[in-house]
Amino acid sequence: MKRVSITDIEHDSWAPGIPQHTTAGKIELGAIHGVLPFNGRRNPITPSSISHKVSFTYRTAANSWRLRVGFAESGAEYAAGLQALIATTIHDVEFQPVEITYLCPMTSRTRQHTIDIRLTFRSGLRRLLFVRNRHSLTKPQTEAEIATIRSAAQESHGHELHVVDADAFSRPRRDNLRRMYWYIIEEPDPVTDEIVLDTAQHLHTLWLISDLQKAIALPRGRVMKSCLRLIGRRQLQADPDAVICEHSRIWRPEP
């Protein structure tokens, strides 16, 4: 039998590259009983091997603390939302809330930009968040794009636009925020929080969270959850870029 070399095969009869497949498209989430639907302008949830898309439920005072579906285009965007959700000054958090039409400074063409997050403060102030990774934020074209979007934003969209460095949300910080949100919003325990905070303020040997667990006659897990709530509300402090556990250093905020 004659041996056939790869060079003898007609190049038109085989495909050396990765076959191209049609994309699966956006992932649509159906109605969930008892949960308010996603109310953003754009659904960013698509299959991706690069970015970390997140779908979740959350509560705000604006929704009478009812669960609502939220979509975030990245883990950092989700973390920025969680950070706002646990803040006592925030009334509402919206994901992908509005589209802003602007003239691209690079191509001189009209483009649409969907705002990542909109915060509504209890004072009535509405703040738009532009979340982007640090490398992108250093590029002149990104700076020009942000300036153009800020100029194109109308008062109906929001009162101000803030830029958020996505790289500031390390993986441990994201995990800490996720747990803080859950224990603050879904598992509140004001009685335990009062006990833990009072003990922390008077315990002279306070160094680790485990010191509080030893000093308080409550289950260690209950004290741990309380510490996360107090840290999330900034009544106690810890390193947010290290996973907070019973061995974490904890301290009282400066007066």
Average pLDDT over residues 57-77: 96
Q: Give pLDDT, residue 109.
A: 85
Q: Say which residues have a Cβ less than 8 Å from residue 101's Cβ, sequence separation at least 6.
A: 110, 111, 112, 152
Instruction: Specify the residue for token string 């006659």.
Output: 217
**Quick one: pLDDT band at residue 245, thresholds 50, 70, 90?**
very high
For 109-153, the pLDDT digits (tens) are 899 999 999 999 999 999 999 999 999 999 999 999 999 999 999
108 dihedral zone (left: phi>0; alpha: psi -120 to 50; beta): left
| 189-251 fold | Arc Repressor Mutant, subunit A (1.10.10)
What residue ranges do the domains of the chain occupy? 54-168, 189-251
Residue 75 reports pLDDT greater than 90: yes
Q: Give pLDDT, residue 107.
A: 80
Q: Give pLDDT, residue 27.
A: 76
Q: Cα 143 to chain center, whole Å?
A: 22
Q: Give pLDDT, residue 28.
A: 79
pTM, entire model: 0.86
Q: Is-contact 20 29, C-beta < 8 A? A: no
Q: Give pLDDT, residue 193.
A: 98
In angstroms, rounded to a whole number, what is the distance separating the alpha carbons of residues 131 and 80?
8
Instruction: Specify the residue for token string 């907070």.
Output: 244
* Three-state DSSP state, 113: strand
In angstroms, rounded to a whole number, what is the distance separating the alpha carbons of residues 137 and 131?
9
**Quick one: pLDDT band at residue 24, thresholds 50, 70, 90?**
low
Of 41, 59, 132, 48, give the one whose Cα is nearest residue 95.
41
Crossing angle, helix 171-181 and helix 220-232, to 10 degrees?
Answer: 110
**In DSSP terms, which residues pair with 27 in a beta bridge?**
none
CATH of 54-168, one of 3.40.1350.10, 3.40.50.300, 3.40.50.10470, 1.20.1630.10: 3.40.1350.10
Pairing status of strand 237-238 against strand 117-121? unpaired
The pLDDT mean for the chain works out to 90
Average pLDDT over residues 157-181: 97
% of the chain residues with pLDDT over 70: 89
Least confident of 7-11, 77-81, 143-147: 7-11
